[in-house]
Amino acid sequence: MQTVKMVVTGPFSSGKTQFIQTVSEIDVVATERKISSESERIKETTTVAMDFGRITVDDDLVLYLFGTPGQKRFDFMWEILSEGMLGFVVMVDSSRPETFREARRILETFRAYAPTPYVVTANKQDLPDAWDPSDMRIALRLAPEVKLLPCVATDKESVKNSLLELLYSILERMDP
Amino acid sequence: MALKGNLRDFSFSQLLNLISLAKKTGTLEVHGLDKDALLSFKGGKLIYAQNSRADNGLGAILARTNKLTDKQYQVIKDRAENIGDKELGLMLINSNYVTQDEILVSLKQEFVSTANDLFTWAEGIFQFENNIKPSPDKISLLISLENIIIEGSRQLQEKERLEDEIPSLDMALRFTENPGTNIRNVNLSVKEWRVVSFINPKNAMRQIARTTKLTEFEFRRIVYSLIQAGLVEIIRPEGSKPSSPKVSTLPVESTDDQKSLVNRLITRIRSL
Ligand SMILES: Nc1nc2c(ncn2[C@@H]2O[C@H](COP(=O)(O)OP(=O)(O)O)[C@@H](O)[C@H]2O)c(=O)[nH]1
Ligand SMILES: [Mg+2]
C-alpha cells in the first residue's frame, strides 16, 4: 500500500476542516483530544484538534489530507507535517482581511520549509463581504505564477477543483 | 466586491500597498474612534485627502501653511463661503496673493500629512469605493504612494509583527517588475540603500543582514518597508531548487512512475 499526503493550512476558521470534510471518506475531526490533569485543583482542559481526511484512490494508493492545528503554540507541527508532503493548500477566509497577515506568515513559513508546489484558495467566496480575489492576490503578496483559486469549501466541486489545480502544478513540476 | 475592514487588523500601509499595486481609482473612507478621513486615488496615486478635524477649504489650508494671514483667511471664511477651491485659487493667483506653485505645495503637504496621520490610528473602519471622485470644486494632485508607504512603514516598531511578515531569513529578495514603481524615485536612507545594493536572487536575506552589519530587527524593518512599497518581493534563493524534476516526496522513483501516480490521483479526484 502506497500513501501520499497533502497539507491543508491557513489561519483559524479559514475553512480547513470543512475543506477536508467535503472530500474525505472518513469523519475528519476524529483526532480531537482532551487532555486534562486531574491532580490539579483548577481543571485544565486543552483541546488539540488536528484534522485528518482520507481519499482511497485504488487498491494500493491512498491520499491523506492533514489540516494544521490552529493555535500558534503548535507551529512546531508545521515542520513535522510538511515533511514528505506532495503539496499544500493555503486556505484564506476572503471575508476576513484581519487574517491575511497570518495567512502570509503561514505561507512564507511553509514556503521556506520546502520547495513543494502549493495553491492558495480564496475561501468563503459565497459571503457578501468576500474580497475580490484580485485584491487578495496583492494583499497576500502572491507572485503572478501562484494559483489563487476562488473557493467555497462546502461545495464539493470547488474543493475538487482546488485539489486538481494543485495536482496539475505537481505534474508541471515533473515536466519542466 | 467589498474592500472593507478595520485598520486594527489590516494596516494602513497594507491598504496603500494594495491601492498602489492594483492602480485603483476611487475613494477610501476611514472612520476612526473620534475622527474620520477621506482619501481619493487615481490609478493608484493619491489625488485628494481631507480629515474631519480641520477646515479642509483652500483658504484654511493656505492659512495653516502661512501663505495667507489669519485676517485674510477670516475674510475668505466669512465672505467666500460659496466659492469653490478652484475658483478661489484662481482669484488668489490672479490677484498675486499666492503663486500656483505655493498652492500646489501647500495642498501636497496637507494631503501627505493627512495620509501620514492614518499610520498612527490604532483602529478605524475603512471602505474603498471604486470610481468615486472628489467633489469637482476641489483641486486634485497626483502623488505617488511609495514615499508615503516607506515613510509610514519606518515607524513600525513591533518586533513580533516584523517576524510574522518576514519569518525566514533563508529566503532571498528580488526587485518586482511593477511598471510605474521605480526605486530611483523613492527617498531612501543610507542604510536602506545599502540593503538595496545587495538585493539579488542568489543572496539569502541572512547574508545581506550580516554583510550590511544591521541587526535582524533593523534589517527586517527595511525589507518590510521595501515590500510594502511594492519595490521588492520574497523568493526562494536561486540555486536551491532541486536539479532533478523528480518529486522526492513520492513513494516511487522514476519520473514515469511518479507521473502515473499523480495521474491516478487526478482521475480519482475528478470522479468524486
Ligand atoms: N459561508 C461559508 N462558510 C464556510 C466556508 N468554509 C467554511 N465555512 C464555515 O466557516 C467556519 C470555520 O470553518 P472550519 O472548517 O471549522 O475552519 P478551520 O478552523 O480552518 O478548520 C465553519 O462554521 C464553517 O462551516 C465557505 O466556503 N463558505
Ligand atoms: Mg478546524
A26-30, A52-56, A169-173, B117-121: segment of lowest average pLDDT: A26-30
The whole-number average pLDDT for the span B116-123 is: 91
DSSP A61-109: EEEEEEEPPSSGGGTHHHHHHHTT-SEEEEEEETT-GGGHHHHHHHHHH
- CA A124 – CA A126 distance, rounded (Å): 5
Q: Looking at CA atoms only, how far is residue B59 from chain A in angstroms?
A: 37
Pocket test for ligand 1, best of A9, A13, A157 (most atoms within 8 A of CB): A13
Q: Does A131 touch chain B (CB under 8 A)?
A: yes
Confidence of residue A164 (pLDDT cuts 50, 70, 90): very high
Residues of A in contact with B10 (CB under 8 A): 97-98, 100-101, 139
Enumerate domains of chain A plus CATH numbers. 2-174 (3.40.50.300)
Which of the two residues, A159 and A173, has the higher pLDDT score? A159
A14-18, A35-39, B230-234: segment of lowest average pLDDT: A35-39
Domain ranges of chain B: 3-154+251-271, 169-235
Confidence of residue A49 (pLDDT cuts 50, 70, 90): low
Percent of chain B with pLDDT over 90: 49
pLDDT at residue A47, rounded to an integer:
46
Place of cell 512599497: B229
Residues of A in contact with B266 (CB under 8 A): 164, 167-168, 171
Q: For the segment B158-167, what is each residue's pLDDT rounded down to a tens digit? A: 788 888 889 8
Beta-carbon contacts of B11 under 8 Å, excluding residues fewer than 6 positions away, are A101
Residue of B nearest to A1 (CA): B251
A44-48, A84-88, B83-87, B132-136: segment of lowest average pLDDT: A44-48
Which of the two residues, B68 and A126, has the higher pLDDT score? A126
Q: For the segment B4-61, what is each residue's pLDDT rounded down to a tens digit? A: 999 988 989 999 999 999 999 999 999 999 999 999 999 999 999 999 988 899 999 9
pLDDT at residue A159, rounded to an integer:
98
A66-80, A153-167, B35-49, B152-166: segment of lowest average pLDDT: A66-80
pLDDT at residue B152, rounded to an integer:
87
Using a 6 Å cutoff on CB, does residue A127 contact ligand 1? yes
Q: For the segment B219-260, what is each residue's pLDDT rounded down to a tens digit? A: 999 999 999 888 898 988 886 554 444 455 677 778 888 889
Among protein residues, the one with the nearest Cα to ligand 1's atom 8 is A15
Confidence of residue A70 (pLDDT cuts 50, 70, 90): low
DSSP chain B: -B-EEETTTS-HHHHHHHHHHTT--EEEEEE-SS-EEEEEEETTEEEEEEETTS--SHHHHHHHTTSS-HHHHHHHHHH-TT--HHHHHHHHHHTTSS-HHHHHHHHHHHHHHHHHHHTT-S--EEEEEETPPPPTTS----B-SHHHHHHHHTT---HHHHHHHS--TTSEEEE---TT--GGGS---HHHHHHHHT--TTSBHHHHHHHTT--HHHHHHHHHHHHHTTSEEEEPPTT-S-SSS--TTSS--SHHHHHHHHHHHHHHHHT-
CA A56 vs CA A156, A159, B266: distances in Å = 16, 16, 12
Using a 6 Å cutoff on CB, does residue A21 contact ligand 1? no
Q: HSE of A12 in the Cβ direction (CA atoms, 13 Å)?
A: 8
A60 φ, ψ (degrees, to nearest 5): -125, 30
Contact A107, A149 (CB under 8 A): no
> Residues 117..156 of B with a Cβ closer than 8 Å to A: which?
none
Beta-carbon contacts of A28 under 8 Å, excluding residues fewer than 6 positions away, are A17, A20, A21, A51, A52, A53, A67
Q: For the segment B132-149, what is each residue's pLDDT rounded down to a tens digit? A: 999 999 999 999 999 999
- CA B91 – CA B69 distance, rounded (Å): 16
- CA B101 – CA B183 distance, rounded (Å): 26
Nearest-ligand number for the alpha carbon of A49: 2
CA B215 vs CA B222, B225, B247: distances in Å = 11, 16, 37
pTM for the whole thing? 0.78
Residue A77 has pLDDT above 50, yes or no: yes
Confidence of residue A138 (pLDDT cuts 50, 70, 90): very high
Q: Does B9 touch chain A (CB under 8 A)?
A: yes
Using a 6 Å cutoff on CB, does residue A57 contact ligand 1? no
Among protein residues, the one with the nearest Cα to ligand 1's atom 1 is A124
Residue A39 has pLDDT above 60, yes or no: no
Of B159, B151, B158, residue with least CA distance to B226? B151
Number of the ligand 1 atom closest to the C-alpha atom of A19: 15
Q: Looking at CA atoms only, how far is residue B143 from chain A in angstroms?
A: 21
